[in-house]
Amino acid sequence: MNGKSYLHFVVFLALTAAVGMLTPAAQAARDVANIATFSVVAYNPATGEVGVAVQSKFFAVGSVVPWAQEDIGAIASQAYGNPTFGERGLMLIKDGMTAEQAVTTMLKDDADAARRQLGAVAARTPADAYSYTGAECLDWAGGQTGVTPGGIVYAVQGNILTGAQVVAAMDLAMQTGELESAVGIDAELARALMIDDFAGRLLLALTAGQLAGGDSRGMQSAAMLVCQAGAGYGGYTGTKYDLRVDDAVDPFVELARLLNLARPQALISEGYKHAYAGEFQMAYDVFENLLALEPADKSHCYHYACALALGGRTREALDNLRLALDYDPSLKTQAQTDPDLMNLYGIPEFAAIVGALE
């Protein structure tokens, strides 16, 4: 045996001995390779948004647990997770099953059903949610479902948590839209939670779970998947947010940073969608959220001005347009021929703001 082979043999013996020294519980956990995590799945009938937010002491949890499709539903498959349950479950819901029926059907002939944990929601009228925790999931494990005062239907669940208080805190956050205490919240995370839209509510529930103890093993990865008809890039898909933090010291802060980067464009698209549909108050609310998120970027006032002009609120439209063009004069050329500002044509103040029309 040469030197290199001998070294490999010694390492092999050492590793074998180390595995043999594991306690039965540790060996079982190692063999099972549970996706120990906590998650929220939800559907908002008012906006058509459906999604999942999840965190885990597990590498790249976003590549395994969350599944969602607009107008159908959302599923989180975790614990001894089976990723095929996501696509299969959504197909069963699409075919007419409730969230509970879809989960029960998938688990019916599953030899590992006792080790699975799933949360599911069906995006229909009436909507429904279901949370399943197998009897052999590692403590603490459990979940519950609910409907917020605003009508969001949801399920929250987790396994290998510090205790039942984690799921209870997530449930309370979904119901109230608030954290029991925001002491010590990072500025990036606080900024992301400032807006109580659907994505914000999912992140809020996840944050509440972590503040209550979270995954008993710690933090590593997080993800958020939100779908809404026509909300994807250019309106070609329904993927509004697909954010993944595969490995981070604090995945909550990193997930918040990604949401803060993605949200402005999503809000702009959403605002115009409402404005073009004649849903002006909803458009105003969206653009006001955008301005609150990035108050220093006055170019966002341009989008708000367009919505206000379309809605006939000319005075406010002119005020916001002036703010936008003072901030970014290059927008004047666009404003001169923008059909969204047509209701302002002929007003002397408009001509003064944008310059003479050709």
Largest distance between two CA atoms of the chain: 94
Distances (CA, A) of 27 to 17, 58, 111, 137, 216: 13, 17, 20, 15, 17
CB contact at 8 A, 37 and 78: yes
Residue type, 108: K
What pairs with residue 40 in β-bridges? 53, 156
Helix (H, G, I), strand (E, B) or coil at 156: strand
DSSP secondary structure letter of residue 63: G
Q: Give the total residue count for the chain.
A: 358
SS (H, E, C) 226-247: EECCCCCHHHCCCEEEEEEECC
Does 126 sit behind a cis peptide bond, omega within 30 degrees of 0 on the bond before it? yes
Closest to 241 in 3D by CA, of 200, 272, 297, 190: 200
Structure tokens at 238: 């329904």
Closest to 322 in 3D by CA, of 302, 348, 293, 297: 302
Q: What is the C-alpha separation between 64 and 336, in angstroms, rounded?
A: 49
Residue type, 112: D
**CATH T-level assignment (fold) for domain 33-262:** Glutamine Phosphoribosylpyrophosphate, subunit 1, domain 1 (3.60.20)
pLDDT computed for residue 33 by the predictor: 56
Cut 0.85: pTM above it: no
Q: What is the C-alpha separation between 117 and 45, in angstroms, rounded?
A: 25
Spell out a b/e string for 325-345, using b for 16 or more CB atoms within 10 Å of the CB, else e: beeeeebeeebbebebbebbe
Closest to 213 in 3D by CA, of 174, 169, 155, 248: 169
Q: Which CATH entry fits the domain spanning 271-354: 1.25.40, 3.40.720, 1.10.10, 1.10.3470?
A: 1.25.40
pLDDT computed for residue 34 by the predictor: 63
Distance of alpha carbon 96 from the chain centroid:
25
pLDDT tens digits in sequence order for the chain, 358 residues long: 555 444 444 333 343 443 344 444 444 444 445 677 999 999 999 999 999 999 999 999 999 999 999 999 999 999 988 999 999 999 999 999 999 999 999 999 999 999 999 999 999 889 999 999 999 999 899 999 999 999 999 999 999 999 999 999 999 999 999 998 777 789 999 999 988 899 999 999 999 999 999 999 999 999 999 999 988 887 889 999 999 999 999 999 999 999 999 999 999 988 998 999 999 999 999 999 999 888 999 999 999 999 999 999 999 999 999 999 999 999 999 999 999 999 999 899 999 999 854 4
What pairs with residue 50 in β-bridges? 43, 227
